[in-house]
Amino acid sequence: MRIGETRRFRRDPLGYIEGLRRGSTTEVIRLPGGGYCVRDAEPAQTLLRSPEYHTGKSTFFQELLPTRQSQVEVGHAVRNFLRAGVPQYRAALGHAVTEFPDVSRWPTAGNMLVHRCLADLLLHPGTPAKTRRLANQAVRGGVVFRAPHVWQRARAEPLRARLVNALTEQVRHRREHRIDEPRDVLDAVLRACPPEVTDRTAAELHLMMFRAIVVPLGTSLAWSVLLACLHHPSPSPWPWPWPADQVVREALRHRPMPWLLGRTIPHPLELGGVAFQPGDLLSVSPYLMHHEEGQWSAPDVFRPERWSEPGERGSYVPFGAGPFACAGAAVAQTLLVESLTALARDAVLSVTGGDLRAVMAEGNVPRPFTLHRTLMPRGTSTTRERR
Ligand code: HEM
């Protein structure tokens, strides 16, 4: 990538990929870092959904699990556990928001809020204090939310190694003392994980699921708060004119966290004049799919009310689509709505320093902004709640 291009990409990655689409005359866009992205939403949907591109395992789990079947089982086990844990998450949120500062720096504050409310579901309170402490440090220390710079990631590596060692010890202990009902995500992972998976790999798998849950939830909550505050029609009084559910859906459309979703080409294929070989990766961009004219009305406008309008449905893939789609999509939506509702209950929210341009971390992450949360008399709900 040339220096000017790198600068433009860093300044505004979503604007950059939009520019590449505008300049493209073929079905695939050549990405500056190498690789290709399908330009239009319809063939992108085919790539995500067609069984042709799902012959092997999903790359999401890297090489941590031996078969596609075991990947599916682990995903479902964690999803089921979290779904049952929604009331516990809601109760934790109730406590956390009473201590939430009037002025907070985001996205970090949102990341910490999500983790605080999930901490006991990820590792139950009976887990050795040292392991839970290391998990907390990993959230703050660049292991869970990966630091942007290579040197920062290198500095976080010893902490990551200590956490994996402690988790491996826990896996060994729990495999020797089996229990009937899962108490946390680690139990859920272990019950679904085939016995040939080593203790260390099971520990890595838990850390991977930990990150796969906390990172996109924290990021998507930050986008929801930022977008709703920036687009709240200024003369209109509180509450927000939209149900929290619509705010979250529209934030996931307007600023989807995943940057690219890739599928492996199973056989030689020519697309847009490019010859793909088996094993090549071809990607789709949820952002481009969510902003395609003709798929959505006024796609570049943040308009939560579109979710209550008939016929307003274009390609919507914040959680992917097809056989490799996110196992936790429905529970993630619920947790986000719960979080936004709790933050805005009996409070007026506003932001300063908000910028709609993303920064590229592990996906599209909002730039730092400040949230001002002014408490109102109890019972003055500031989002239209819908359960
Ligand atoms: C806002 C929150 C979340 C977002 C935006 C998100 C997004 C995604 C995306 C884009 C994928 C890849 C889909 C594809 O390639 O088509 C994925 C996969 C996955 N996600 Fe999520 N996710 C979120 C929360 C969660 C949660 C809470 C869980 C917990 C169960 C979870 C579990 C998984 C699993 C297990 C997979 C792999 C699916 C497979 O390959 O079988 N995710 N997620």
Give the three-class secondary structure for 130: helix
Q: Relative to the CA of 317, which ligand 1 atom is closest? A: 10
Q: Relative to the CA of 219, which ligand 1 atom is closest? A: 1
Phi and psi, residue 369, nearest 5°: -145, 165
What's the CA-to-centroid distance between 160 and ligand 1, angstroms? 22
What's the CA-to-centroid distance between 326 and ligand 1, angstroms? 3
Mutate which of 61, 326, 333 for ligand 1? The one with the most ligand atoms within 8 Å of its CB, which is 326
Is residue 121 pLDDT above 90, yes or no?
A: yes
Does the beta carbon of 58 lie inside 6 Å of ligand 1?
Answer: yes
Does the beta carbon of 319 lie inside 6 Å of ligand 1?
Answer: yes
What's the CA-to-centroid distance between 329 and ligand 1, angstroms? 6
Question: Distance (Å, rounded) from C-alpha 117 to C-alpha 110?
Answer: 11
Q: Relative to the CA of 72, which ligand 1 atom is closest? A: 41
Does the beta carbon of 238 lie inside 6 Å of ligand 1?
Answer: no
Does the beta carbon of 326 lie inside 6 Å of ligand 1?
Answer: yes
With residue 210 as reference, give the H or E element that holds it.
helix 199-231
Query: How far is CA 218 from each of CA 117, 139, 195, rounded to the nearest angstrom?
Result: 11, 11, 32
Does the beta carbon of 78 lie inside 6 Å of ligand 1?
Answer: yes
**pLDDT tens for each residue of 50-85:** 998 888 899 999 999 999 999 999 999 999 999 999
Phi and psi, residue 71, nearest 5°: -60, -45
Q: CB under 8 Å to 24, separation ≥6 — which residues?
A: 39
Tell me which residue has its CA closest to atom 17 in ligand 1.
326
User: How many CA atoms are closer than 13 Å to the CA of 341, on its beta-carbon side?
Assistant: 20
What's the CA-to-centroid distance between 318 and ligand 1, angstroms? 9
Does the beta carbon of 327 lie inside 6 Å of ligand 1?
Answer: yes
Q: Relative to the CA of 333, which ligand 1 atom is closest? A: 1
Does the beta carbon of 220 lie inside 6 Å of ligand 1?
Answer: yes
Q: Relative to the CA of 220, which ligand 1 atom is closest? A: 1
Average pLDDT of span 193-212: 98
Going by pLDDT thresholds of 50, 70 and 90, the confidence category of residue 291 is very high
For residue 147, the model assigns a pLDDT of: 79
Is residue 386 pLDDT above 80, yes or no?
A: no
Does the beta carbon of 223 lie inside 6 Å of ligand 1?
Answer: no
Does the beta carbon of 299 lie inside 6 Å of ligand 1?
Answer: no
Does the beta carbon of 185 lie inside 6 Å of ligand 1?
Answer: no
Give the three-class secondary structure for 213: helix
For residue 215, the model assigns a pLDDT of: 98
Mutate which of 37, 80, 193, 319 for ligand 1? The one with the most ligand atoms within 8 Å of its CB, which is 319
pTM over 0.85: yes
**pLDDT tens for each residue of 137-189:** 999 999 999 877 888 889 999 999 999 999 999 999 999 998 889 999 999 99
Question: Mean pLDDT of all residues in the chain?
Answer: 92
The CA-based angle 275-279-283, given to 5 degrees, is 75
Q: Which of 353, 356, 357, 358 is nearest to 369 (CA)?
A: 353
Going by pLDDT thresholds of 50, 70 and 90, the confidence category of residue 387 is very low
Is residue 226 pLDDT above 90, yes or no?
A: yes
Q: What domains lie within the chain, and their CATH numbers?
A: 3-375 (1.10.630.10)
Question: Distance (Å, rounded) from C-alpha 36 to C-alpha 149?
Answer: 25
Does the beta carbon of 340 lie inside 6 Å of ligand 1?
Answer: no
Question: Distance (Å, rounded) from C-alpha 174 to C-alpha 134?
Answer: 18
